[in-house]
Amino acid sequence: MNCFEGFRFLFPILKSAIFPWISYTEAIVSRKLLYCNPDRLSPKISYDGEFLAFMARKVDVMEYYWTYGNEILYSQDYKGDEYAIVKINKPDPTAYSLYKINIITGVYALIESSEYSFTEYVVADSLKFRCTFTSNKRIPTAYSVTYLKDDWYPIDEKISLDLKVLREYNNEKYVLDQVFPFIIKSQDQLDLVCYLTLPPDEHDSSKKYMPKHPLPLVLRVRCGPWSRDYYSFKVDSQFFASRGYAVLNVNFRSSVGLGKTLIRKGIGEWGKKMNDDLIVAVEYLISKNIDIKEKVAIYGVSYGGYAALASLAELTFACGIEYSGPSDLEKSLSIYLGGKFEEFDFNEDDIKNLNDKIR
């Protein structure tokens, strides 16, 4: 059973267990629409902005690219040859050249070298180049800064209007639930970037991210843990929020892209301070009357599944959903690391204690 199929069975259980008063309306975006396989994939706009291309669902194309001449180049797997084209900073350590590597034997050979780093490339089955881009050939027209959310700034004023249109775009057929970024402090005063998704029509517009009344909450813990949550479209968050739940995403310690301190503070903190960060975020929302203390659920995938198990062991939440999370760290790390727990700054006693916590 995959994750999406699991929702069909788990959501009614979660709903009836702690949120029985939630009702459905015709305005709710259907689960099928959120989780179905789309008919059109990977949309890309041509360089001159005149054309939009996409891949059909059943086309066996791995990737495609626009050229500056409005032609489309695409790649397909050919007879299952076990080769890949990779960028390696050889022979010049300051620039990337392209190599063909046999992914079975690891043997590699130089295909094309450049005094400039290759940023993108397309090759034919014969390994002859059809299209390449190097870092000196592109002039940036805009840049983005990501912290609470992606903020785009034009370098070339010609695209200012394009950015404005994209910011103000609104799909009139479906109204997406609002997402609000905010920062809280951990117990040891680290900045934790969080995202709160509120159901439609529940936001109190006179306040930053306050609902009109306290709501049931789903804490959604991502996988990783060495990744991060962004201000972006999240299917799970939209699914839960459209059905009356507030949804919280927390960039707990070990999250990347938010400074080395936050990453390093997560070393050896599985099930400990990493989980404390989640609890602090939930307690913050409770203190602000954003969510109902007795109606908080936790849901996580992979590392998030482990976090859900560890949190449920402490009876912090009314209920939870764990998906593909490791329930036996000792066995999991033995498989992946050959028993070298020090790679995660764990010792065997740490692992056994964490296992005991979720059993």
Q: Which whole-number Å values give the CA distances from 135 to 88, 114, 139, 223, in the listed order?
A: 15, 11, 9, 32
pLDDT at 59: 66
The parent domain of residue 14 ranges over: 3-29+174-325
Based on the domain organization, do 167 and 221 belong to the same domain?
A: no
Calpha distance 47→157 (Å, rounded): 17
Could you check whether the bond before residue 91 is cis, i.e. omega within 30 degrees of 0? yes
Question: Is 120 strand, coil or helix?
Answer: strand
Based on the domain organization, do 19 and 153 belong to the same domain?
A: no
In CATH, what number is assigned to the domain containing residue 270? 3.40.50.1820
pLDDT of residue 2 exceeding 60: no
Residue 72 lies in a domain: no
Neighbours of 345 (CB within 10 A): 13
pLDDT 10s digits, 51-92? 888 888 766 777 788 877 788 877 666 666 667 777 787 887
Based on the domain organization, do 168 and 290 belong to the same domain?
A: no
Q: Which string of DSSP letters, residue by residue, matches 49-82?
A: SS-EEEEETT----EEEE-TTS-EEEE---TT--
Neighbours of 326 (CB within 10 A): 21
pLDDT 10s digits, 234-262? 888 988 998 889 999 999 999 988 889 99
Q: Which two tokens stand for residue 38?
A: 């789309």
Could you check whether the bond before residue 225 is cis, i.e. omega within 30 degrees of 0? yes
Question: Is 343 strand, coil or helix?
Answer: helix
Based on the domain organization, do 218 and 164 belong to the same domain?
A: no
Closest of 27, 28, 26 to residue 11, by C-alpha: 28
Calpha distance 114→116 (Å, rounded): 5
Residue 251 lies in a domain: yes
DSSP 190: -
pLDDT of residue 12 exceeding 60: no
Structural domain tally of the chain?
A: 2
Residue 49 lies in a domain: no
pLDDT 10s digits, 127-165? 665 555 555 545 677 888 788 887 888 888 888 888 888
Based on the domain organization, do 182 and 235 belong to the same domain?
A: yes
Question: Is 356 strand, coil or helix?
Answer: helix
Please state, for a pLDDT cut of 70, what percent of the chain lies above it.
Answer: 73
* Confidence grade of residue 98 (pLDDT, cut at 50, 70, 90): confident
Higher pLDDT, 125 or 161: 161
What lies within 8 Å, CB to CB, of 211 at 6+ separation is 198, 199, 202, 203, 204, 246, 290
The torsion angles phi and psi of 94, rounded to 5 degrees, stand at -100, 0
* Confidence grade of residue 273 (pLDDT, cut at 50, 70, 90): very high
Could you check whether the bond before residue 140 is cis, i.e. omega within 30 degrees of 0? no
Q: Which string of DSSP letters, residue by residue, matches 201-256?
A: T-B-TTSSS-BSS-EEEEEEE-S-SSS---SS--HHHHHHHTTT-EEEEE--TT-S
pLDDT at 268: 82
pLDDT of residue 14 exceeding 60: no
Based on the domain organization, do 218 and 310 belong to the same domain?
A: yes
Calpha distance 244→44 (Å, rounded): 34
pTM of the model: 0.69
* Confidence grade of residue 6 (pLDDT, cut at 50, 70, 90): very low
